Amino acid sequence: MFWDEKAECMSREEIEELQLRKLQATVKRAFDKVPFYNKKYTECEVFPEDIETLKDIEKLPILTKDDLRASYPFGLFAVDQKDIVEVHSSSGTTGKPVVSGYTKKDLDIWAELIARGLKMMGLDENDIIQNTHGYGMFTGGFGVHYGVLKIGATIIPISTGQTRRQVEIMNDFGTTCLIFTPSYGLHLGEVAREEGVDPTKVGLKAIGFGSEPYTEEIRQRIQESFNAPAYNIYGLTEIMGPGVGMECCAQNGLHIAEDYFYPEIIDTNTNKILGEGQKGELILTNLEREGMPVIRFRTKDITALHYDTCKCGRTHVRMERITGRADDMIKVKGVAVFPSQIEKALLKVSDVEPHYQIIVTRPDILDEIEVKVEASQSLFFDGVKEMMNVQNKIADYIQNEIGIRVKVTLVEPKSLPRATKGKAKRVIDKRNLH
Amino acid sequence: MKIKQLSIFIENQPGRLYKALEILAQEDVNIRALSLADTSEFAILRLVVNSPEKGMEILEKNNFIVKLTDIIGVELDDTPGGLTKVLKILNDENIDLEYLYAFTHDQTSKAILLLHANDLDEMINVLDSNNVKIVPADVVYNL
């Protein structure tokens, strides 16, 4: 099933021709309307007229999250604020959040791309879609919402949480599609069984899941738990939100909507462009976005691209499941955690930054974090009670920073591994997600 | 009068206690008394040794975290009821004890009780006025 067969099955030549035209227009608009790009491109001595082929995009500087943050809140907008009809934002846990602005047309494109994905999942106007993504500044809730309206299906905008109510509604309303994060989905399945509702009997046709790392094993567990195929949805606030990439019935990678985004894969260390099938960091460019064109954004997500035509008939490039991060970010319980936040918390309890290590485990379904901290003179007291207090105090500070309770363990000095080359290994992710 | 005790942070891992004690043995630091407060993840090893400063120095050189903590030693009759007699006094006078441990030695028929409290000076006063004999630090180090 296609939402827009013509767009989704264009030949490679047609795609590239369209991309070049849109890229040239986007770079020109960005250069003319956004002082940030004007300054940056002028400094790099690259100008809109230098983009003569798609390959010329490589002349443009790569943007980082810090570049976007420096433009907080509205510095990257390419239209008057009056033309922005909606804003979303990242959680801002590591500093200023990144704000994403949308014009009416941008929202329509967003809806269009989600609609394509819902069709890929085999859904249409007859379906009842229960969206457990949070409604608010998080792009997940509204992005999916607009797409469901677009295909004319019924949306249940229940948002996140209230798990027992989710179960009741799913059962009573006859939900045919659930949208969730993998960990919440597994939890929802368990609660349903506790409540005496068999999730395999609800009549689900499909599941859309995203915004968390997952493995094929987790996908299998979700599919078994609900007896429905589960499709990954990829997106990020900076570029649009969910819908940048969506999985089709082949379940063999996510189709990136190439008429709206230009993906590249680079070697994280050298920034060298890598070829088809090679693993590296995904770089994304908005090819058609009025409100906030983002050009060559480092996503930090590690994946590979495949250009052969998919079994489903679509020609749009497929990206592999995200298998890692180019930075230390870890997603725990759906929350992005950076080691720098842990460092910040540790500096509050001790003058000298203690050595630490973050260990993430998933004993069953839910993630757990343990932070090992090397004890020091200032963190050591001659009393068990005081030592317990130190551990609790550190856990409090960390919770303040990241919003999650972690287990803090004090360990002996020099017992944690030191950096041999470059950065120390601060994060041990034992969840086997990659 | 106050005894300098070594308080050492030890991870609750196989071999860590041995490592700390081995280092002291190699440098001829002799242990007079020992106690260990342990939790599932870490322990605090408390030692009275013949030469506290030297002990601290070599442990720190070997990356242990060590603090010198003041404690008091009192002399007890090494007979049934010897310990409870002292504890009753502290209890009656509302002294908040943090921890204690005791050891005997072969020079007298007395035992030595090592005490730590929130307010050490107050405890000394209480013990003094109840005629409990406080053992000078030097004596304990050199037993």
**CB B8 within 8 Å of CB B51:** no
Q: Which residues of A touch B61 (CB under 8 A)?
A: none
pLDDT recorded at residue A421:
47
Please check whether residue B70 touches A, CB under 8 A.
Answer: no
| B122 plus B86 within the same structural domain | yes
Domain boundary pick from B69, B87, B102: B69
Q: Do B64 and A415 touch (CB under 8 A)?
A: no
Taking residues A317-339, report their average pLDDT. 83
Q: Which residues of B touch A412 (CB under 8 A)?
A: 9-11, 16, 63-65
Placement of tokens 């269009």 in the chain: A112
Domain boundary pick from B42, B69, B96: B69
Q: Do B37 and A375 touch (CB under 8 A)?
A: no
DSSP E strands, chain B? 3-11, 31-38, 42-49, 66-77, 97-104, 110-117, 134-135
pLDDT recorded at residue A163:
92
| B42 plus B91 within the same structural domain | no
CATH for B49: 3.30.2130.10
Give the N- to C-terminal CA distance of chain A in Å, as an integer: 31
Q: Which residue of B has its CA nearest to A409?
A: B41
pLDDT recorded at residue A422:
47
pLDDT recorded at residue A52:
97
pLDDT recorded at residue A352:
64
| B34 plus B91 within the same structural domain | no
pLDDT at B132 over 70: yes
CATH architecture, domain defined by A331-429: 2-Layer Sandwich (3.30)
Higher pLDDT, A346 or A262: A262
Q: Which residues of A touch B (CB under 8 A)?
A: 375-377, 380-384, 387-388, 409-415
- The distance between the two most distant Cα atoms of chain B, rounded to a whole number of Å, is 45
**CB A118 within 8 Å of CB A145:** no
pLDDT recorded at residue A419:
58
pLDDT at A363 over 90: no
For the segment A288-306, what is each residue's pLDDT rounded down to a tens digit?
999 999 999 999 999 999 9
| B76 plus B120 within the same structural domain | yes
For the segment A115-153, what is each residue's pLDDT rounded down to a tens digit?
999 999 999 999 999 999 999 998 999 999 999 999 999
pLDDT at A48 over 50: yes
**Distance from the B107 Cα atom to the nearest Cα atom in chain A, whole angstroms:** 30
Taking residues A199-205, report their average pLDDT. 96
**Distance from the A413 Cα atom to the nearest Cα atom in chain B, whole angstroms:** 6
Percent share of chain A, pLDDT over 70: 96
Q: Which residue of A has its CA nearest to B61?
A: A413
Within 10 angstroms of residue A430's Cβ, the number of other Cβ atoms is 12
Half-sphere exposure of B111 (CA within 13 A, CB side): 19
Q: A69-328 sits in which CATH class? A: alpha beta
DSSP, collapsed to helix, strand or coil, labels residue B85 as: helix
pLDDT at A357 over 80: yes
Q: Do A410 and B116 touch (CB under 8 A)?
A: no
**Distance from the B61 Cα atom to the nearest Cα atom in chain A, whole angstroms:** 12
Report the mean per-residue pLDDT for chain A: 91
| B123 plus B102 within the same structural domain | yes
**Which residues neighbour A42 within 8 Å (Cβ) at sequence distance 6 or greater?**
none
Q: Which residues of A touch B39 (CB under 8 A)?
A: 384, 387-388
pLDDT recorded at residue B86:
92
Q: Do B42 and A387 touch (CB under 8 A)?
A: yes
pLDDT at A93 over 70: no
| B91 plus B53 within the same structural domain | no
Locate the domains of chain A by residue range. 69-328, 331-429
| B59 plus B102 within the same structural domain | no
**Distance from the B108 Cα atom to the nearest Cα atom in chain A, whole angstroms:** 30
Range of the domain at B41: 3-69
Total residue count of chain A as it appears in this document: 434
Token pair in block for residue A123: 């859904």
Q: Give the ipTM of the model, two decimals please.
A: 0.89
Domain boundary pick from B69, B84, B104: B69
Cα B24 to Cα B21: distance, rounded to the nearest angstrom: 5
| B65 plus B77 within the same structural domain | no
Interface test with A, best of B41, B64, B69 (most A CBs within 10 A): B41
Percent share of chain B, pLDDT over 70: 100
Q: Which of residues 120-139 of B touch A (CB under 8 A)?
A: none
Q: Which residues of A touch B98 (CB under 8 A)?
A: 383
| B118 plus B88 within the same structural domain | yes
Token pair in block for residue A95: 């500093």
Query: Concatenated DSSP letters for A217-279?
Result: HHHHHHHHHHTS-EEEEEEETTTTEEEEEEE-TT-SSEEE-TTTEEEEEE-TTT-PBP-TT--
**Distance from the A93 Cα atom to the nearest Cα atom in chain B, whole angstroms:** 30
Q: Which residue of B has its CA nearest to A413?
A: B63
Please check whether residue B4 touches A, CB under 8 A.
Answer: no
Q: Do B41 and A380 touch (CB under 8 A)?
A: no
Q: Do A413 and B64 touch (CB under 8 A)?
A: yes
| B99 plus B83 within the same structural domain | yes
| B35 plus B91 within the same structural domain | no
Taking residues A242-254, report their average pLDDT. 96
Confidence grade of residue A417 (pLDDT, cut at 50, 70, 90): confident
Q: Which of residues 103-122 of B touch A (CB under 8 A)?
A: 116
Q: Which of residues 28-47 of B touch A (CB under 8 A)?
A: 37, 39, 41-42, 44, 46
A329-333, A368-372, B12-16: segment of lowest average pLDDT? A329-333
| B79 plus B131 within the same structural domain | yes
Taking residues A163-167, report their average pLDDT. 95
| Nearest by CB: B63 against A382, A388, A413 | A413
A207-216, A253-262, A333-342: segment of lowest average pLDDT? A333-342
Confidence grade of residue A214 (pLDDT, cut at 50, 70, 90): confident
For the segment B24-75, what is each residue's pLDDT rounded down to a tens digit?
999 999 999 999 999 999 999 999 999 999 999 999 999 999 999 999 999 9
Cα B18 to Cα B64: distance, rounded to the nearest angstrom: 13
| Count of CB pairs separated by less than 8 Å, A with B | 47
Q: Do B39 and A384 touch (CB under 8 A)?
A: yes
Taking residues B89-99, report their average pLDDT. 93
CA nearest to A30, candidates A60, A65, A53: A60
Q: Do B44 and A413 touch (CB under 8 A)?
A: no
pLDDT recorded at residue B121:
94
Reported for A328-331, long-range contacts at CB under 8 A and 24+ positions apart, including other chains, are A328/A426, A328/A427, A329/A300, A330/A358, A330/A360, A330/A427, A330/A429, A331/A211, A331/A212, A331/A213
pLDDT recorded at residue A420:
52
**Distance from the B78 Cα atom to the nearest Cα atom in chain A, whole angstroms:** 28
Q: Do A382 and B16 touch (CB under 8 A)?
A: no
Kindly list the distances between the CA atom of residue A25 and the CA atoms of A21, A109, A238, A261, B50, in Å, as whole numbers in the listed order.
Answer: 6, 17, 20, 13, 82
pLDDT at A80 over 50: yes
Taking residues A303-325, report their average pLDDT. 94
Q: Which residues of A touch B116 (CB under 8 A)?
A: 382
Q: Which residues of B touch A415 (CB under 8 A)?
A: 11
Q: Which residues of A touch B10 (CB under 8 A)?
A: 412
CA nearest to A247, candidates A346, A412, A116: A116
CATH for B129: 3.30.70.260
**Distance from the B1 Cα atom to the nearest Cα atom in chain A, whole angstroms:** 20
Task: Give the number of domains in chain B.
Answer: 2
pLDDT recorded at residue A204:
97
Higher pLDDT, B130 or A420: B130
